[in-house]
Structure 1
């Protein structure tokens, strides 16, 4: 039997990224870019969260004026989609220091292209997504950790199993 062409198979990485992007949006994040690339590398998702806090100020005539402060955060998100028996600890091992440096440089390029976002707090998050083929004959009950989000596509189930905030630190250099 001949092998099917690669275009016949679903792109699991993109499907995992779709799940993470949908989950981020459902929790109040705005997706700014998907698969942002530079000569240094690619960032799967760049998301922004605008936290708005309020305060009051009393003016010289006793009038109360509400002040709004905006605390925006940029998250540069690396998504790792793996099957449950993956060799690299569910994708965690694939985020080497070299990969972190590429993501950091690419984030710097993004901030250089969008200087209005340069003063935002930035962090590097990692999302771990597991995918598993949906079997029509599956009858076994398997206890698993509760997923943050799930979706199904192309005969596979995707689970956002873990979202790691500030998974690694890096100084971002603009330019």
Structure 2
């Protein structure tokens, strides 16, 4: 059987990012950018959340403080049994530094967001090919979200808040 051209295969990474973006939106986040790139690298998803802090002030009759948060999200989509711990070990210090530099470029491009709180999150998505003839039952922990596309099933298995710090040495 001849090898099919790369354009024949689905972009698994993009489909995993779609799932994470949909999940973030369902939890109140606004997706600002997908695959934001600079000369330093790329950030899979940049999302914004407008919340309110200061419930204790509100109970005292004071006005709550509006709070905006930016999440720079790295999405790792892997099949089960992947060699890199589901993508976790692919978030090396060098990769973190590239993401931090790219986040800095984003904030320079959008100075109105420079005062927002920022964090760096990691989403772990597992994908599995769906067989038309075979029904597979597997035991696994509950997924945060699931989807199916292009003959694959995707599960947002883990969403790691503030997975790394921006104070990494960029040198």
TM-score, structure 2 normalization: 0.91
Aligned residues: 167
Structure 2 CA distance for aligned equivalents of residues 22 and 42 of structure 1: 19
Structure 2 CA distance for aligned equivalents of residues 28 and 34 of structure 1: 17
| Aligned residue in 2 for 1:35 | 35
- Bigger drift between 128-137 and 155-164 goes to 128-137
> Is residue 45 of structure 2 the alignment partner of residue 49 of structure 1?
no
2:75 equivalent among 74, 79, 86: 79
| Aligned residue in 2 for 1:142 | 138
Which SS does the other structure have where 2:63 is aligned? strand
| Aligned residue in 2 for 1:93 | 89
- Bigger drift between 85-94 and 133-142 goes to 133-142
Structure 1 CA distance for aligned equivalents of residues 140 and 153 of structure 2: 14
| Aligned residue in 2 for 1:117 | 113
- What is the CA RMSD across the aligned residues, in angstroms? 2.0
2:129 equivalent among 110, 133, 155: 133
Structure 2 CA distance for aligned equivalents of residues 88 and 108 of structure 1: 27
| Aligned residue in 2 for 1:11 | 11
Structure 1 CA distance for aligned equivalents of residues 137 and 76 of structure 2: 25
Residue 70 of structure 1: how far off its partner (Å) = 1.2
Structure 2 CA distance for aligned equivalents of residues 34 and 46 of structure 1: 7
Q: Please, which runs of 5 or more residues in structure 2 have no aligned partner?
A: none
Structure 2 CA distance for aligned equivalents of residues 29 and 140 of structure 1: 34
Compare CA radii of gyration and give the structure with the larger one. 1
Extract structure 1 runs of 4+ deviating beyond 6 A: none
Residue 11 of structure 1: how far off its partner (Å) = 0.1
